[in-house]
Structures are given as C-alpha cells and as structure tokens.
Chain A
C-alpha cells in the first residue's frame, strides 16, 4: 500500500519543480521492494533453520509429505506467465507500441488474478493442515505470504490496467509501469522461490 498512496504523491503538483518526481517514485518503490525482500529473507531463513534443527518425524509428520507438484507447477506457471507478459508490455512501452502495451498489461493482469484465485483454492485443498508439524506450518506461511502479495498487488494491477487502457503511459512518461514493474517482478521471483524451496530442501538435515 505504501507506494500507491505516496507514489504519485505530488505527481500533478507543479510547485516542487526542482525535484525529479520520477526519480522520487523510483527510489521509493525500490526501498519498498527492499523492505518486502527482507520479509522474504527472514521467512526463508526460518524455513532453513527449522529444517536444520528438526528430525524426520517432526518435520514431515505422517501424510504431510506429498505436496501436489502439478498444482504448484500450474500456480507458479501462471505467475511466471504474468511476469513475462509484463516484461513484454514494459518493452513495448519503451518502444512506444501502444497497442502491445495495452495487450500485455491486460494479459498480465488477468494472469495475476488467475494466480490469485488458483492460489486461494490451492490453499484450501492442501494435503495437510497448518497444524501438521514444522514443514506444514512453514509451507502454509509461505503460501499465505504469497497470497498477501497477490492481494496487495491487486490494487496495483487494476489501477495499472485502467490507466493503461486510458492510454496514460507514453513512450516518454511511463514511470507507473516501471515502478510497479519492480513489485511485479519481485512477486514473481518470490513465487518461484516458494515453488522451488520445498523441492530443493525437502527433508531435514542429518
């Protein structure tokens, strides 16, 4: 929420003319993403920590081993596809290809919303409950954090789509797409991390 409130803060106001408005928004968004990355870092380190200190029967109690890989793959695939569409749109807006921008952003937004819906239903049908031991708790926390990302980003997504379709972003002035891109890419990256982590580091250390 930080950036969307402040991000375009004095965009339309002319009184602070000696300030690089766009640079301001860029710096702010970068720092916001950094703060968000710190959250993810602590989550990941907690995962590795618990995995390191646990023994088998408590890290994977009975029945919590089998994450449905196909479901997670679909989920992450949607996320990545959305990111790719966004890259396309970003490239297009720098080239000034208006139609492609509108197409890419709209596709990306739809894929984002699809990911959100899919993640929520996936969360509802996990093969284990959050009360099912160390791994289960960490996994639910990761999924929940990802869903929080998607929900928070929903505001950006809708706003960005609407404003793109209004044709507000030109070849010269498209800071909205650039900055929200930072957040977008980071969410995709975190989705991929959350997808790979249980695959790379499944069992406890011995």
Chain B
C-alpha cells in the first residue's frame, strides 16, 4: 500500500476531509438544528440561519483540512508526551526522497514551502488580475454596460481584497521562505511545522474566499449574493450587503493568521538562527525589509481581525458594534444600537495603513540588494538603508487617521496626522538616496531584474509625490475617495511591490529551478507592463482630477476619454503580465540551464549547489564580511564566496 502512504496525509486527503467538514457543518445547522436563534429580543428572527450554516461549514472545513494534511500529528504527540520525533522523522517530514509528492503535502522544508507559496500567490495574482480586467471592462464606456451594478461592486471588492492578500504574502511568502534562511546561513526556518502550517492556512483561506460570489443566491432570507463593500469592509455597509461578506471575513482572518505565523517564524529565524559571524550589519537588505514587513504584520493584522470578527458577529449573532442608533436602524427589528460607525473606520485603517508599507518594505530591501549586485558596488550607506526601513516601520503606525480627514472624527487631530504623514516621506527618501548612490558610477548590468528596479524607482517616485498631495488636508479634502487616490496607491503598490516581485522571480528563478528565465520574452513583457501600467494609471490620475469618484459602475460622459485610455492600457498590462506568466512556465520547463552564480552576487544563497540540498549547507558557513564586498575575487561556482570559510559549526 505504498500509494496510500504517499497520498495520506497530503493535500488531497486534506481536500477530501475539508469537503466533508463543510457539508457536515452546514447541513447540521440547516437541516438538523435549523439554526440557532441568537436574538432573544426577536425570538422569531431566522434571517441569519443560512449564514450560521455557512459559518459552521467554513470552520469545520478548516479543521478537516488541517486534520487531513496531518497538521495535528505533532501537537498531539507532544501533548500526549509520546516519543519526540528524531532527526530521521524530521527529515522525512521535510520531504526527504519523497519525490514530487512533497509539493502537495504538509512539508516542513522551507524550500518546498517557498515553491508552494510562489505557485499559490501567482494563482492568486492571476485571479486578482482577472478582476482588474473585468473592472476595466465595465469602466471602458459610461453606463453600467458590461455587468449589473451589484456584480460590479462584488468584482471590485474581490479584486481589492484578493490583491491585498496576495501582495501581503507574495514576497515574504516565496522568497522569505526560500531565500532568507539560506541568506543568513540557517538550515531551515526556526519553526518548520509552523512554516508549513502558514501555507496550509493560506490555501484554505483561498478556498473559503472562492465561495464569496456563490453564497446565498436566490435565498429569500439573505441579503443577496456577493459583497458590495469594497476592500475597506466598513461595518455599516458590510452588515447589510450580501452574505458573501461572511466568507470574505473568514478568509481574510485565516490569511491574516497565516501571515502572522509567517511573521513570527521569520523574525525568530533571523534573531536566533543566523550563521556564526552573520551579525545584524552583515545581513542583506532583503532580510531587513522582510523583517520590517514581519513586524508590521505581527503588530497590525490583529486590528483587521478584530474588525472582521465584529462584522461577522453583527451579521450572524446580531451584536451591535457598528450600529449607531439612527433612524435607519429603527426601521429594522430587534437591533438596539449602541455601536459606532467610526469604530470600523479606525479599526480598519489602523491595520490598513501599516499594511500598505508591509506590502512594499520587502520590495525596498530586494531592490536595494539587487541594485548593488548589478552595479557591482556596495550599498551606498548600509546603515542609512536600515534607518530608512525601520523609520518607515515606526512611523507607519502613526499615520492611519489621514484616511479619516473628512470623516469628522476628531478633526482637531488632523494637523498632527498631516505632520506624521508628511514625515514618513523622509525615511522613504533615504531609500531613494541609497538607490541613486548605489547606481552612481557603478557598472550597471541591464538585466530584466535591473529594468524592474528602474521601473520601481520611477513608479514609486510618482506614487510618493502624489502621496504628498494626499497627505495635505486641504488638497485631500478635494481628492479624497476619488480616482486620484486609486491611481496613487496603485502607483505605490503595483509600482513598488509588484515590480519588485516580478524582478525577484526573475532574479531567484535560477536558484529555485536551476534554469534561467528567457530574456527576450522577459524584455517584451517588461516593456508591455511599463507601457500598460503607466498608461492606465496616468489616465486615472487625470479622471481623478476631473472629479470621478472611486468604485462607481456608471460615470458621467465627462470622464469617458480618460477611462477609455485607462481600459485599453489596462488590457495591454494584463496581456504583458500573461506573457510574464508564460515566461515563468516556459522557462521552468525549457529554459537554459543556469550556472551556479549567474548574477555574480555575493550573498550566501548563491554559494549553495542548485537544487539546494535538504539542509542547505554541508557545513554551516562562517561569515567574515558584509554582503556587498565585490572587491573580493569573483568566485567559481560552488566555492563559498564573500570570505566564507567552510569551518566547523560553532555551537
């Protein structure tokens, strides 16, 4: 029965148990107990039985998935005090000679987890991009001509939230897992099982997310299908919109837990598992950027989770966190009120603003690293760069209320938040200083990755400067909530995080697969992405200045020209991203074989053989110098670089 030992436990058995769990949970509530009546004020209330069923189904689905992939095996052996797994069991769990199946399993090897993350996040990216294409289709011409309005709102919501989840995990996930342990000379992450568990949580979160558009179609007792709130799931609207919001909330909570696990794991790894000699000032910038992002997600994500839990309780258990008692509430039956609509704004944005920095910080680090590599110059001010990154981390917790300049909440604080928001451009400016200083008088090697670095500089510069406009209260009062804002944050997030990600895939592809990515297709897709991206969002700046609101399915003919340009450019952008995906798939299969250190970088991951063996290093290297000293002779493949002596590990 070898095939059963191959398939159980694995993601397949997990999927089976997850399906069973969902059916059991939902059917139990719907058929057996017919719903729990949570509202003693209104004993006849039955409007949310359907949601209770879905909720129970989702919870059991998650449990079934975790049981099915065998995530609970270790906790129970630990709990019952059985024999601790020895090294061989650890290695078997890490996928030792398990073949391809280890990619479809609860595998603790950080490289396997990294690949899993890469695939999952790229699929998420594809679906988010699909949403973007549909949005631009609707906005191509005035009038809701492509989709009904509520369908459009649902698409907007799903695109926004899915993209946010993707970008939260698509740098710290794939590269933070695959590259960073090798970069700091560790054999694995600090908590390998936690690592495998975080990708498992992300997968099940996406499975729940996929339910959103299909929940409660045609049911008389529900508020309809889909979610019409936009990615800022403001409690007031979320309490009333389609019941897809339950799936959205649960999926985002699960993904948040996943990113928190990853954050704790990464921080611990960097603190406790650096190779001897790898002092904090010898870590590559990518590590520092990922650390910053991890700190933000460890401290910030809880806020959104609390917000979403309150929303679900408001909907399903009829609490009143967000119901201020207005005349509107009096129309319904059984809600007392006593909540506040400002609470949801504050809870959301306290997560929401650090979160946008969490998206771009790893890209900052990577871009600085790679600039130094391709300019063959050390970083222009290593400590300056760390100062910039950490300054962003600290300041980003003090700026969230610039999203509420017009909300009427504590208007006397607007001066302070204007100051803190403008102040955050100082550390960001330091990043630019480092980038320019590193390029200056270097030997710039224009690979596709370097192209993405220049694209990053250009787009993030525009995003930052428009951000200054929005940080200023009188200007923001006019621009707030318009297409100008949409264009601004797309320039920072797409131009910052996504460009970094695409460059990073190109850069580490040889290390992950042993093959180079095709350069011609790379350049074609690169230029397509740049043209499409700038065309789309410069046009969006224009219609924003003209006064077009965000998230409208229908708009005045006044804005038709700009929107047509934006839509056509968006299709160019989409096509180019598809080409990039094709490049990844094609090169994975048939790309040219890569040499050991194709970019001539000095960081540790290029000193390991490809494919990286199970525990990365034969002997843990002893690091004797920083990551950027190109003065040392270039290294033939395999031989440790950057003054690394293969010495006995220091206990």
A–B contact (CB under 8 angstroms)? yes
Interface size, chain A (Cβ < 8 Å): 61
Instruction: Give B contacts to A, CB under 8 Å.
Output: 38-41, 71, 74-75, 78-81, 84-87, 90, 186-188, 190-195, 197, 260-261, 263-265, 267-268, 271-273, 275-276, 298-300, 302-303, 305-306, 309-310, 313, 317-321, 325, 334-340, 342-343, 346-347, 350, 615, 620, 649-651
Can you name the residue of chain B whose Cβ is closest to the Cβ of A39?
B302
A12/B86 contact (C-beta < 8 A), A133-B337, A137-B320, A166-B81 known:
yes
Does A19 touch B at the CB level, under 8 Å? yes
Query: What are the residues of chain B within 8 A of A61 when measuring CB–CB?
Result: 336, 338
Does A58 touch B at the CB level, under 8 Å? yes
A32/B264 contact (C-beta < 8 A), A8-B78, A49-B346, A135-B338 known:
yes
- Additional pairs, 14, CB under 8 Å, beyond known A2-B194, A158-B79: A5-B197, A17-B649, A19-B273, A31-B298, A50-B340, A53-B342, A58-B338, A129-B40, A131-B320, A134-B337, A140-B319, A141-B310, A141-B313, A159-B79
Q: How far is the CB of B235 from chain A (nearest CB, A)?
A: 11
10 shortest A-B CB distances, which residue pairs? A6-B191, A134-B338, A6-B194, A58-B338, A137-B319, A159-B79, A133-B338, A162-B81, A38-B302, A24-B272
Contact B38–A129 (Cβ < 8 Å): yes
The secondary structure that dominates the A interface is helix
Query: What are the residues of chain B within 8 A of A4 when measuring CB–CB?
Result: 75, 78-79
Q: How far is the CB of B147 from chain A (nearest CB, A)?
A: 36
Query: What are the residues of chain B within 8 A of A206 when measuring CB–CB?
Result: none
Can you name the residue of chain A whose Cβ is closest to the Cβ of B85?
A12
User: For the complex, what is the distance from the CA of A158 to the CA of B320, rounded to whole Å?
Assistant: 37
User: For the complex, what is the distance from the CA of A15 to the CA of B265, rounded to whole Å?
Assistant: 19
Q: How far is the CB of A164 from chain B (nearest CB, A)?
A: 9
Contact B271–A162 (Cβ < 8 Å): no
Contact A50–B347 (Cβ < 8 Å): no
Query: What are the residues of chain A within 8 A of B299 when measuring CB–CB?
Result: 34-35, 38
Please provide the chain A residues from 25 to 49 with a CB less than 8 Å away from any CB of chain B in the complex. Answer: 27-28, 31-32, 34-35, 38-39, 41-43, 46, 49
User: For the complex, what is the distance from the CA of A4 to the CA of B319, rounded to whole Å?
Assistant: 33
Can you name the residue of chain B whose Cβ is closest to the Cβ of A134?
B338
Contact A162–B80 (Cβ < 8 Å): yes
Contact A131–B74 (Cβ < 8 Å): no
Q: Report which of A9, A17, A137 forms a contact with B313, defined as CB distance below 8 A.
A: A137
User: For the complex, what is the distance from the CA of A46 to the CA of B306, rounded to whole Å?
Assistant: 9
A58/B310 contact (C-beta < 8 A), A2-B261, A34-B298, A159-B81 known:
no
Does A68 touch B at the CB level, under 8 Å? no
Contact A131–B38 (Cβ < 8 Å): yes
Contact B302–A42 (Cβ < 8 Å): yes
Q: How far is the CB of B231 from chain A (nearest CB, A)?
A: 19
Q: How far is the CB of B273 from chain A (nearest CB, A)?
A: 5
Contact B347–A42 (Cβ < 8 Å): yes
Can you name the residue of chain B whose Cβ is closest to the Cβ of A21?
B272
Q: Report which of A53, A133, A163 forms a contact with B81, defined as CB distance below 8 A.
A: A163
User: For the complex, what is the distance from the CA of A3 to the CA of B305, rounded to whole Å?
Assistant: 20
User: For the complex, what is the distance from the CA of A5 to the CA of B196, rounded to whole Å?
Assistant: 10
Contact B194–A130 (Cβ < 8 Å): no
Q: How far is the CB of A50 from chain B (nearest CB, A)?
A: 6
Query: What are the residues of chain B within 8 A of A130 when measuring CB–CB?
Result: 38, 313, 317-319
User: For the complex, what is the distance from the CA of A17 to the CA of B651, rounded to whole Å?
Assistant: 6
Contact A27–B272 (Cβ < 8 Å): yes
A168/B81 contact (C-beta < 8 A), A5-B193, A6-B191, A24-B190 known:
yes
